[in-house]
Chain A
Amino acid sequence: MAGQSDPHLSIFSPSEVEFVAEDEIVEIVPNIRMEALNMICGDFGPFFPQIASKVPLWLAVALKKRGKCTIRTPDWMTIDSDCLIAYLSVLLLYIFMVLDAERESPKEFQPLPFHYIEISKLLFDHARDDISDAYLVRSLIEDIRDVRFHKVETGLETISGRTHAVKLKNLSAMEVNIVRPFMVRTLQAFYKHDSPQMIQQADNTGSRPTPVTDRGPRRDLRRR
């Protein structure tokens, strides 16, 4: 398994994934006046008090930490305010709907932002007071995460020797990162042992030394 054993080349740490997520755009409502910022990652502003503006998440968090703005909760993290009173019985909430749909369809993932885990974590850490019903939203997101991860795990069980491609519609960045080592090694192992060359080698064991065991399988041999 040479080439895969080196973790530095293929795996991101959770904090690196979070770093990438910090470039996602969110909406803030500043409470100060500030000139436009011409940054390497783009131009933002100018900012006026009480007028919403779009900035990357890291900038929003930095301003929030200094008490210069409130962060608008992204739509997918909100609970519809009309049905707030009846939220436990009526379940008309976006996030509830996601969770429900997630439980209904065992094979598919519901569309959520690619970085939903990281964004929600950062917002809960730094802008908790800007989120309405933070406690409920947080537990719902955790539920969604668990349900989705369970799906990933069951999905792993279906991989077999004939699997040459896996489709993971709507899987998020953090989920990809967690499942990457297992997924790649499983597929790799099946691919290697499924290759005609390996089967052929098993047939005439002992008749010939096999110096090529750690080389990639060669599909072209199948033509015979």
Chain B
Amino acid sequence: MGSYSSTEEETLDDFGESGVDDLVVSLYQMDLDRTLFLLRSYLRLRLQKIEKYMMHISKSEDLLSRLSQQEQRFAKSCTEMMEKHLEQSVLSKLPYGYDSVTRQSLSSTEDDMGIPFDLIIIPEPQLDTFVFCKTKSDVGAFQLDDIGEEVVDLVADDLYVLRYKSIKGLVESGQIDLI
């Protein structure tokens, strides 16, 4: 990405020198600026997400593999810094058993329903939330929950508000676009 836009920039410089029409140069410059703006917003958004869910991401190999090398480095150093900070400011002053970054307390690893407490401390993306999406092709009757109570008929090129969790597969296979 970086190398592509810098080649474009060099081409623009060449244009300026070789006396190509100013209008054309300025149009190419606008095209380049728009592309860079888009790429920067995209990267910034990814970094925001990493910062928010760094603990969650660094726990899972699958999620880590979706990041670029630079992003992985960022996530790692971010997590380390956060852990160090929590350790120094609070955790080191707490009694034994309550001094873990990822766990509320050592003795109660699970609540009485068998759900581990770790989940509560580490911020995770909320996949249960609702999203706006547009279908690309006909999907047909689609089941939203596990037990088949909620079924929607997804028609091509229509706009829906659905729970992300239930359409995750469709998003990943490219049948539906988030908007």
Contacts and interface: CB of A to CB of B under 8 A. Distances in A.
A168 B161 contact: yes
A160 interface: no
Instruction: Classify the secondary structure of B's interface with A.
Output: mixed
Interface string A41-57: 10000000000000000
Contacts of A183: 130, 132, 161
A140 interface: no
Nearest to B22: A66
B161 A165 contact: yes
B98 interface: no
Contacts of B45: 8-9
B34 A58 contact: yes
A44 to B, nearest CB: 9
Contacts of A59: 27, 30-31
A202 interface: no
Given A3-B125, A9-B49, A59-B27, A220 B163 contact: no
A2 B122 CA distance: 12
A151 to B, nearest CB: 14
Contacts, number: 114
A3 B126 contact: yes
A220 to B, nearest CB: 6
Interface string B23-49: 110111011101101000100010011
B94 interface: no
Contacts of A62: 26-27, 30
Nearest to B125: A3
Interface of A: 2-4, 6, 8-9, 16, 19, 22, 34-35, 37, 39-41, 58-59, 62-63, 66, 68, 164-171, 173, 176, 180, 183-184, 187-188, 191, 208, 211-212, 215-217, 219-220, 222-223
What 7 A-B pairs are tightest by C-beta distance, nearest first?
A3-B126, A216-B128, A166-B161, A39-B31, A164-B150, A187-B130, A168-B159
